[in-house]
Amino acid sequence: MGGRRILFVSHSAAISGAEVILLELAKHIGNASAFVFQRGPLADRLGGMGLPVKTAARAGGVSAVTRGGSIWKALPLAGRLVSITREIARAASDHRVIYANSQKAFVLSAVAAFFLRKPLIWHLHDIPDRTHFGRMQLKLQILLANISAKRVIVPSMAVSRAFVEAGGTEALVRIVPNGVEIRTSEAWTKRELRAVLGLPEGPLVGVFSRLARWKGQHVLLDALVDLPDVRCIIAGTALFGEDAYAEELHALARRRGLGGRVLFMGHRNDIADLMRAVDVVIHPSIAPEPFGLTVVEGMLAGTPVVGTAAGAIPEILDEGRAGWLVAPDDAEALGRAIAGIFSSPEEAERRSAHARVRAETFYSAERMVREIAALIDEVSAETGP
């Protein structure tokens, strides 16, 4: 058959949830290479794994086309988009399968795959609805998926339903929940971990995600006003032009009189240990989540998890049996859930034990990689030499 097995394509230079999954796949799925729109942390990590990585020569300005904006903003960049599409086609010419890991990557890869007559897999990491995408963007993505994609991999029933409701062909969809492997210093007690990490004693909660309004960190700050004995750590940084929100969070903490109780930790590489060190992991997103890697990481850490009842979070938390579910954007409900965990340690331990078993059973990286590798083989075999 010749050539490489698969070309991974991603537009992002930064590493967020979708890119974490891509890195896990790239680590285990062999005979692959990657095409990334821009040089940055993702390209560096992929190259560090030994993958051949190509980057676009003319990707500057493409980041200005946001998923919630107007598709007409792409018109001044038409030349660059055509150039990137040609580069994807050249990179994919000696590969069996093209694997698009983001919306922008998918749209351009779909055009390249059409002209190359190459099979295309789209790993859809977002909920395709008007909450997240402009009307024309959504229509274009669904149209290209129905025409060009051999499979659309989604991480949850929530994403599957949204894809079909938007007009996507249900037969294309394969649900493969995201998987994580978490390694922590389990020989250390919570108190020892806090000492090593420089964290305060006493009731402590944490939120672990990039700083973005829809991730809802501000809701947790509002909830802390009525929890005077509880401190909080916020691990994460602004990634996609959301620096104003990060500044707003700092201002909100000062305005609410929480300056001494909230610790902004920025980007961290020791999230697993931080999750074991806190008493509660909070996932306060105010919009439906397509998955929620940090929820699974909290479950694996054995720490009680509170998440919002929207998108995939109820699926992951077993409708509340493996954690606590609260309404989105409801600081009072979030505060009550946190207070309830501290007042009922036996119930917290019971749900956390169930959560850890559930996470190990359904959300392991090994299972995710195995299922996606099987889908790649399936698509490759359907296409023939």
Residues across the chain: 385
Query: How do residues 220-269 score in pLDDT, each as one tens digit?
Result: 999 999 999 999 999 999 887 788 999 999 999 999 999 889 999 999 98
C-alpha distance from residue 239 to each of 45, 244, 270 (Å): 17, 11, 18
What would the pLDDT profile of 330-357 be if each residue is shown by its tens digit? Answer: 999 999 999 999 999 999 999 999 999 9
The CATH number fitting domain 190-362, selected from 2.130.10.10, 3.40.47.10, 3.40.50.2000, 3.50.50.60:
3.40.50.2000
Q: Position 213: which residue type?
A: R
What's the mean pLDDT when you consider all of the chain?
A: 91
Identify the pLDDT of residue 2: 42
SS3 call for 94: coil
Cα separation, 93 vs 87, whole angstroms:
10
Sorting pLDDT into bands at 50, 70 and 90, what band is 69?
A: low
Give yes or no for residue 62 having a pLDDT over 60.
no
CA distance 251 to 375: 47
DSSP 59-83: -TTGGGS-TTS-GGGGGGGHHHHHH
Give strand pairing partners of 120. 98, 149
* Mean pLDDT, residues 120-126 taken together: 97
Ranges of each domain in the chain: 4-179+365-383, 190-362
Q: What is the CATH number of domain 4-179+365-383?
A: 3.40.50.2000
> In this model, does residue 67 exceed pLDDT 60?
no
Candidates 69, 115, 66, 65; CA nearest to 88 is 115
What count of other Cβ atoms lies within 10 Å of the Cβ of residue 171? Answer: 9
Find, among 340, 350, 271, the residue nearest to 306 by Cα: 340
pTM: 0.88
Nearest in space to 207 (alpha carbons), one of 111, 304, 275, 292: 275
pLDDT in tens, 313-323: 999 999 999 99
4-179+365-383 and 190-362: same fold?
yes
Greater pLDDT, 132 or 281? 281
